[in-house]
């Protein structure tokens, strides 16, 4: 429906193509980008650059954030130490770290990846902590009565019990990372979908801007879909406790 | 031989506002091996607190509690626990839930598998070992919980409103299953319930507990649990002896409730 209106607006000349490119122009631009590339960089390379950053930053964020969150959920001392830090930095948009990160790491891959790490880290800490503290006391009691040690309960009860929350955290985190990444690439990157949009803008290639926006949206949806499928596959018991 | 021995047990909870609640006051009783004791009473009478102290999840603030002359100091596998619901591990299938206790003790292998299968058949779930627990109905989940508890061969089985979340028909069937397991395994059982009928039917001993402070108000020795093994449960529950006891206990509990209301009004 939206597409038809968009198509009509181009065909009837309602919208000024300089300000709002039509679908045919956009598809042509997209095709050119996919085959020849824009400024010698192809669509695939831009997508790959963005995905690589997100996977590294998000991946490290999960790997570090989950243990910290679990530890905070299990240990009151650790919670007292980390909680103020987490609460202070959690509301800060990850992009706000960029000036500092560029100062520390220079321009290149590192600041973007570190920023994504921050974005994912705080979300994962909170998700893992909620997963631990949300365990039903009767499950822990049942395990104790069945002769399980503290260590065994941690591994066999608390950890699997926290998995659904952790997965929800991962889904949120990957969405936030994706949005943040594209914004970060607008500022300081040569490749990536955000950088591509920004460069296209300076050359008045607005059809590439529109095409880039659509691709960003589509990849965002695909990432979420992958996470949802993984959730169904790995935690089929979610919400049925 | 005396099995469970509770002596002048008291439990006082400190409230955050500086006050305190006397959840149990001067509770004493002995429970012989192989008996089934039901605890009945209005909310706040301390029946779940008492169960949690026996399980070792709570330490009493006064008095002592012994199982076979050894003091209870924490949870242990000589005391199995069955909860109302939600205490199964939904990330494990039915068989792995039942074998949880043995596996935590390092007993894995064909012997454990055979025992688990045996237990599943005992509770009527012989074909359900590979099923996910969330695929089962509430009644079947409680059967799994019973089997899981029995897998550790505990001396004492504690049940905290095990049938509280089930519909009436399933509940009746499960009551008979509990009696059957009691008879077959000769275990000592302590069962907390809100239902007067259930407490009468399942308990060959019954304590009616009263609140503020939580205490044993009245004790009964009852024939119905043993009779329930052979006789039709419906007929038994409609017998004059049963209904008479039911009315007696109901009016006792009504009195308590009214006293509580009066207290709150004042």
Which domain, by its residues, includes A82? 47-234
Is residue A196 one of the residues assigned to a domain? yes
| pLDDT recorded at residue B264 | 60
Q: Are A237 and B80 within 8 A, CB to CB? A: no
How open is the CA angle B88-B89-B92, to the nearest 5 degrees? 125
Whether residues B203 and B128 fall in one domain: no
Q: Which of B110, B136, B153 is the last residue of a domain?
A: B153
What are the chain A neighbours of B57 within 8 Å (beta carbons)?
Answer: 141, 144
Is residue A10 one of the residues assigned to a domain? no
Q: Are B81 and A142 within 8 A, CB to CB? A: yes
Whether residues B108 and B236 fall in one domain: no
What are the chain A neighbours of B149 within 8 Å (beta carbons)?
Answer: 145-146
d(CA A27, CA A22): 9
**Overall number of domains in chain A:** 1
Which domain, by its residues, includes B144? 87-153
Whether residues B176 and B257 fall in one domain: yes
Is residue A52 one of the residues assigned to a domain? yes
Q: Are A143 and B100 within 8 A, CB to CB? A: yes
Of A143, A149, A160, the CB nearest to B91: A160
The answer, yes or no, to whether residue B265 has pLDDT greater than 60, is: no
Asked if A145 reaches chain B (Cβ–Cβ under 8 Å), the answer is yes
Is residue A190 one of the residues assigned to a domain? yes
Of A148, A160, A240, the CB nearest to B104: A148
Whether residues B253 and B231 fall in one domain: yes
What are the chain A neighbours of B86 within 8 Å (beta carbons)?
Answer: 136, 138-139, 241
Is residue A228 one of the residues assigned to a domain? yes
Q: Which of B132, B153, B174 is the last residue of a domain?
A: B153
Q: How many inter-chain contacts (A to B, CB under 8 Å) are there?
A: 76
Whether residues B201 and B259 fall in one domain: yes
Q: Are B86 and A142 within 8 A, CB to CB? A: no
d(CA A36, CA A15): 28
Average pLDDT of the residues in B131-148: 93
What confidence tens digit (pLDDT) does each residue in B21-50 have? Answer: 889 999 999 999 999 999 998 888 899 999
Whether residues B252 and B190 fall in one domain: yes
Whether residues B172 and B259 fall in one domain: yes
d(CA B83, CA B157): 11
Is residue A213 one of the residues assigned to a domain? yes
| pLDDT recorded at residue A21 | 77
Whether residues B110 and B168 fall in one domain: no
ipTM of the complex model? 0.88
**Overall number of domains in chain B:** 2
Whether residues B60 and B184 fall in one domain: yes
Give the CATH number for residue A181. 1.10.3720.10
| pLDDT recorded at residue A241 | 60
Whether residues B34 and B160 fall in one domain: yes
Among B106, B166, B100, which residue's Cα sits nearest to residue B138?
B166
What backbone torsions phi and psi does residue B134 show, to the nearest 5 degrees?
Answer: -75, -5
Q: How far is B173 from chain A (nearest CA, A)?
A: 24
Is residue A179 one of the residues assigned to a domain? yes
Of A136, A141, A148, the CB nearest to B57: A141
| pLDDT recorded at residue B2 | 53
Is residue A11 one of the residues assigned to a domain? no
Give the CATH number for residue B59. 3.40.50.300
The answer, yes or no, to whether residue B260 has pLDDT greater than 80, is: no
Whether residues B137 and B6 fall in one domain: no
Whether residues B72 and B40 fall in one domain: yes
């Amino acid at each position: 429906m939206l597409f038809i209106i968009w198509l009509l607006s181009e065909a009837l000349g309602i919208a000024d193509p300089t300000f709002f490119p039509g679908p045919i122009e956009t598809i042509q631009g997209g095709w050119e980008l996919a085959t020849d590339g824009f400024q010698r960089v192809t669509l695939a390379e831009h997508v790959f650059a963005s995905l690589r950053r997100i996977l590294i930053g998000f991946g490290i964020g999960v790997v570090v954030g989950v243990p910290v969150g679990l530890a905070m959920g299990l240990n009151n001392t650790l919670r007292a130490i980390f909680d103020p830090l987490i609460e202070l930095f959690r509301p800060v948009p990850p992009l706000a770290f960029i000036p500092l990160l560029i100062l520390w790491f220079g321009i290149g891959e590192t600041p973007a990846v570190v920023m994504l790490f921050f974005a994912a880290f705080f979300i994962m800490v909170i998700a893992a902590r909620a997963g631990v503290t949300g365990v039903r006391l009767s499950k822990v009691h049942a395990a104790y009565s069945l002769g399980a040690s503290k260590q065994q309960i941690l591994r066999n009860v608390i950890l699997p019990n926290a998995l659904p929350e952790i997965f929800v955290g991962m889904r949120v985190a990957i969405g936030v990372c994706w949005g943040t990444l594209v914004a970060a690439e607008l500022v300081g990157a040569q490749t990536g979908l955000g950088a591509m949009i920004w460069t296209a803008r300076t050359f008045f290639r607005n059809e590439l801007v529109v095409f880039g926006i659509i691709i960003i949206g589509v990849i965002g949806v695909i990432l979420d879909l992958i996470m949802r499928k993984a959730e169904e596959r790995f935690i089929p018991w979610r919400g049925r406790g | 031989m005396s099995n469970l021995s509770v002596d002048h047990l008291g439990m006082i909870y400190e409230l955050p506002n500086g006050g305190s609640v006397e959840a149990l006051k001067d509770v004493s009783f002995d429970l012989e091996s192989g008996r089934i004791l039901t605890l009945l009473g209005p909310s706040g009478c301390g029946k779940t607190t008492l169960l949690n102290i026996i399980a070792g999840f709570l330490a009493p603030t006064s008095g002592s509690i012994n199982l076979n002359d050894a003091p209870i100091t924490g949870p242990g596998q000589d005391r199995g626990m069955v909860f109302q619901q939600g205490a199964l591990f939904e990330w494990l299938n039915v068989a792995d839930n039942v074998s949880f206790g043995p596996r935590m003790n390092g007993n894995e292998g064909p012997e454990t598998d055979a025992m688990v299968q045996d237990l599943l058949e005992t509770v009527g779930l012989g074909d359900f070992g590979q099923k996910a627990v969330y695929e089962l109905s509430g009644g079947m989940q409680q059967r799994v919980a019973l089997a899981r508890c029995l897998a550790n061969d505990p001396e004492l089985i504690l049940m905290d409103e095990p049938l509280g979340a089930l519909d009436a028909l399933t509940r009746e069937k499960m009551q008979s299953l509990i009696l059957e397991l009691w008879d077959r395994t000769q275990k000592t059982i302590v069962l907390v319930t809100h239902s007067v009928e259930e407490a009468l039917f399942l308990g060959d001993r019954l304590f009616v507990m009263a609140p503020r402070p939580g205490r044993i108000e009245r004790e009964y020795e009852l024939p119905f649990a043993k009779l329930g093994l052979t006789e039709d449960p419906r007929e038994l529950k409609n017998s004059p002896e049963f209904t008479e006891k039911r009315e007696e206990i109901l009016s006792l509990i009504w009195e308590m409730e009214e006293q509580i209301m009066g207290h709150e009004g004042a």
